[in-house]
Chain A
Amino acid sequence: MTQQVLLEVNELSCHFDVSKPWLNRMIEREPQRFLTAVDQVSFSVNRGETFALVGESGSGKSTIAKLIVDLIHPSSGDIRFDGQSLPNTRGEAFKTLRRRIQMIFQDPFASLNPRWRVGDIIAEPIHAFGLAKSQVEVTRTVEELLDKVGLAGRDRHKYPHEFSGGQRQRIAIARALSAQPDFLVCDEPTSALDVSVQAQILNLMRDLQDEFGLTYLFISHDLSVVKHMADRIGVLYLGSMVENSPSDQLFKQPAHPYTRMLLDAIPDHEMSGRRRKQVTGEIPSPIDPPSGCTFHPRCEFANAKCKQQRPAVHETQGSLVSCWASEEGRIATITG
Chain B
Amino acid sequence: MTQALLSVRDLVVEFPKRKTRLTALDKVSFDIHPGEILGMVGESGAGKSLTGAAIIGLLEPPGHIASGEIWLKDQRIDQLPYDQMRRLRGKRIAMIFQDPLTSLNPILTIANQLIETIQTHLPLNDKEARARAIQLLDEVGIPAASKRIDDYPHQFSGGMRQRVVIALALAGEPELIIADEPTTALDVSVQAQIIDVLKRMCHVHKTAVMLVTHDMGVIAEACDRVAVMYAGRIAEIGEVRQIVKQPQHPYTQGLMGSIPSITERVERLTQIPGSMPRLDAIPTGCAFNPRCTQKIDRCTEDRPDLIATDQGQVSCWLYEGDKP
Contacts and interface: CB of A to CB of B under 8 A. Distances in A.
Nearest to A280: B193
B188 A269 contact: no
A56 B157 CA distance: 13
A166 B241 contact: no
A199 B192 contact: no
A176 to B, nearest CB: 21
A196 interface: yes
A57 B193 CA distance: 16
Contacts of B268: 203, 206
B202 interface: no
Interface in A142-197: 164-166, 194-197
A228 B258 CA distance: 11
B218 A196 contact: no
Contacts of A227: 260-262, 265
B189 interface: yes
B187 A224 contact: no
Instruction: Report, as a range, how many residues of chain A touch the other chain.
Output: 35 or more
A19 B230 CA distance: 50
Contacts of A195: 43, 214, 216, 255, 258-259
A268 interface: yes
Interface string B239-271: 011001100000000110111111101101111
B248 to A, nearest CB: 16
A57 B220 contact: no
Contacts of A228: 260-261, 265-266, 269
Nearest to A263: B262
B98 to A, nearest CB: 14
- Tell me whether chain A's interface is mostly helix, strand or loop, or mixed: helix
B221 interface: yes
A267 B215 contact: yes
B265 A196 contact: no
Contact of B214 (A194, A199, A225, A265): A194
Contacts of B245: 271
Nearest to A274: B263
B262 A251 contact: yes
A228 B255 CA distance: 16
A267 B217 contact: yes
Interface string A220-250: 0111110110000000000000000000100
Contact of A270 (B263, B269, B271, B272): B263
B200 to A, nearest CB: 12
A265 to B, nearest CB: 4
A164 B192 contact: no
A197 B193 CA distance: 28
A203 B268 CA distance: 6
Interface centre among B217, B254, B260 (most CB of A within 10 A): B260
A267 B218 contact: yes
B188 A199 contact: no
Contact of A224 (B221, B244, B255, B260): B260
Contacts of A266: 188, 217, 262
A203 B196 CA distance: 33
Instruction: Report, as a range, how many residues of chain B touch the other chain.
Output: 35 or more
Given A164-B275, A228-B265, A196 B159 contact: no
A200 interface: yes
B188 A196 contact: no
B59 interface: no
Contacts of A224: 259-262
A200 B258 CA distance: 8
A199 B271 contact: yes
Nearest to B262: A224
Given A197-B275, A270-B244, A279 B189 contact: yes
Contact of A262 (B43, B189, B219): B189
A221 B187 contact: yes
Contact of A203 (B43, B217, B262, B269): B269
A35 interface: no
B244 A57 contact: no
B23 interface: no
A166 B275 contact: yes
A268 B221 contact: yes
Interface string B93-123: 0000000000000000000000000000000
A313 interface: no
A263 B188 CA distance: 9
Contact of B244 (A199, A222, A263, A271): A271
A264 B189 CA distance: 8
B44 interface: yes
B214 A267 contact: no
A196 B271 contact: yes
Contact of A57 (B187, B271, B275): B187
23 contacts: A56-B188, A57-B158, A194-B214, A195-B255, A196-B43, A196-B275, A197-B43, A197-B275, A199-B259, A203-B268, A206-B268, A224-B262, A251-B262, A265-B192, A266-B217, A267-B217, A267-B220, A267-B221, A269-B220, A269-B244, A269-B259, A270-B263, A271-B220
Counting from the closest, the 6 A-B pairs by CB-CB distance are: A267-B217, A199-B258, A228-B260, A194-B43, A199-B269, A269-B217
Interface of A: 56-57, 164-166, 194-200, 202-203, 206, 221-225, 227-228, 248, 251, 261-272, 274, 278-280, 282-283
